[in-house]
Structure 1
Amino acid sequence: MAVPPRGRRVQQTITQLRERILGGEWPVGGRIPTEPQLVAALGVGRNTVREAVRALQHAGVLECRQGSGTYVVSTDELAPVVARRLSDNRMAEVIEVRRAFEVEAARLAARRRTPEDLAALDDALAAREAAWDAGRVDEFVAADALLHDAVMAAAHNPMLAELYASVGAALRSTLAQAIGDAPERHVDHSRLVDAIRAGDPERAAIEAAAFLESPPGA
């Protein structure tokens, strides 16, 4: 059997690594096998594995942590692109992207929510409010992310959820920037949950849009 050219071997290895990440074998936040283990599992040479891993590091999918190993930090290359946009202070663009995702998700959730979805929304909302009342900003940001994820799940659109997940971490960092330590900036999401529970798509969309207004002058 002919041996594929080196460039093609590297590309095939990148594809194999990406498939295992997307398949959940190596989840986001998890550590991938060591280089010798990858060599044995994939049946390619050390240099091929090294180049493939390096390519995924440059793409923002993997991250090498000195003395610890290599970790999955994203499921695709889209999240790092959004993160770079954030670093360029393009806040107005980011808010517009969030509106595109979250307003439609709220509308769909009001039409498709199940009792299980409503229970998840209630739990996330309660955790969000408790964290805010206690002044635990980091916990509040995490709970707010869970609430928005619950709305997205209630929309029951796998493609929308997948796209949102790929950029969600970068998009949600805008919340931490916006909140700071100012309690007057708290935004009530109970009306959004109520609209979804009531099965009112238009009111849900209005509520979702209300807390994602573009900054003045945008």
Structure 2
Amino acid sequence: MPLATTRRAGLVEQVIEQMRELVTSGEWPVGQRIPPEPELVSALGVGRNTVREAVRALAHAGLLEVRQGDGTFVRATSELSGAVRRLCGSELREVLEVRRALEVEGARLAATRRTEEDLRQLEESLAERDAATDEGDGERVAETDTAFHLLLVESAHNPVLTELYRGFTEAVRASVVTTFDLRAHSEEQISHTALLDAVRDQDPERAAVEAGGFLEEMLRRLGQPERS
């Protein structure tokens, strides 16, 4: 395990930083159980209380999830992503509504600010996504579809919007897995092609409509939310 013995000063902060790095780098992937407490104590050269405080802090930040009797698991790769996951939970409607807000504005801005390099990357990303769809590889579809939408938002060249969307990508990927129907992928491919065409043509209104179309359809299928 790539952990280093800590110094005496600021032990909890050092342990938090090391564990956060293992999460954000993917060394401890999302969904995986982290090493048990005795193993962390031995590897880090600190006491149990220090490890527990670090785990508690990272759980509060949303990166880890402590499951009583089962261990501690990686929940998200960043504090922002963890916050998003806490807010959205398993509520697909809420995830789609936030996707609509971010992706529609991202597409609108991308249509006016995109560069030729942005277009090249978007074309390559969409080709990878469509290839995954043709192969019927649902896992790869989720990865490539999420990557395409992230590139589109990055093409808006708004750092705040991009950072917000980056923190939301795990929820986006989960929503793709939930909503993507491989048996009806042709319509979905056309929608993405039309979206890219609108960005290429520098037509912000058409890009916004194309970006929101599929999400609007999914929200319509889900029906009205229950009121408490």
Report if TM-score (shorter chain) is over 0.5: yes
Aligned to 1:157: 158
1:102–1:81 Cα change, 3 Å: closer
Question: What 5-or-longer segments of structure 1 have no aligned partner?
Answer: none
Matched residues in 2 for 1:136 and 1:16: separation?
36
Matched residues in 2 for 1:211 and 1:55: separation?
38
Tell me whether 1:75 sits opposite 2:78 in the alignment.
Answer: yes
Question: What 5-or-longer segments of structure 2 have no aligned partner?
Answer: 1-7, 29-33, 67-71
Tell me whether 1:30 sits opposite 2:32 in the alignment.
Answer: no
1:86–1:16 Cα change, 3 Å: closer
Matched residues in 1 for 2:212 and 2:76: separation?
29
Matched residues in 1 for 2:75 and 2:97: separation?
28
Please state how far the C-alpha of 1:48 moved relative to its aligned partner: 2.6
Equivalenced residues, count: 198
Measured on the aligned residues, the alpha-carbon RMSD in Å equals 3.4
Tell me whether 1:195 sits opposite 2:192 in the alignment.
Answer: no
Please state how far the C-alpha of 1:145 moved relative to its aligned partner: 0.8
Match of 1:209 among 207, 212, 215: 212
Contact 2:95-2:171 within 8 A present in 1 as well: no
Aligned to 2:63: 61
Please state how far the C-alpha of 1:93 moved relative to its aligned partner: 2.1
Aligned to 1:166: 167
1:28–1:166 Cα change, 3 Å: farther
Deviations 1:128-170 (A, max 9, x none): 1111122222211111111101101111111111111112111
Aligned to 1:108: 109
Question: What's the secondary structure of 1:160's corresponding residue?
Answer: helix
Please state how far the C-alpha of 1:102 moved relative to its aligned partner: 0.3
The residue type equivalent to 1:29 in the other structure is G
Aligned to 2:53: 51
Aligned to 2:126: 125
Matched residues in 1 for 2:48 and 2:117: separation?
47
Please state how far the C-alpha of 1:30 moved relative to its aligned partner: 2.5
Kindly report which structure 2 residues correspond to 1:139-150, keeping only aligned pairs within 5 A, or say none.
139-150=140-151
Contact 2:119-2:200 within 8 A present in 1 as well: yes
Question: What's the secondary structure of 1:211's corresponding residue?
Answer: helix
Please state how far the C-alpha of 1:174 moved relative to its aligned partner: 1.3
Contact 2:106-2:152 within 8 A present in 1 as well: yes
TM-score (norm 1): 0.74
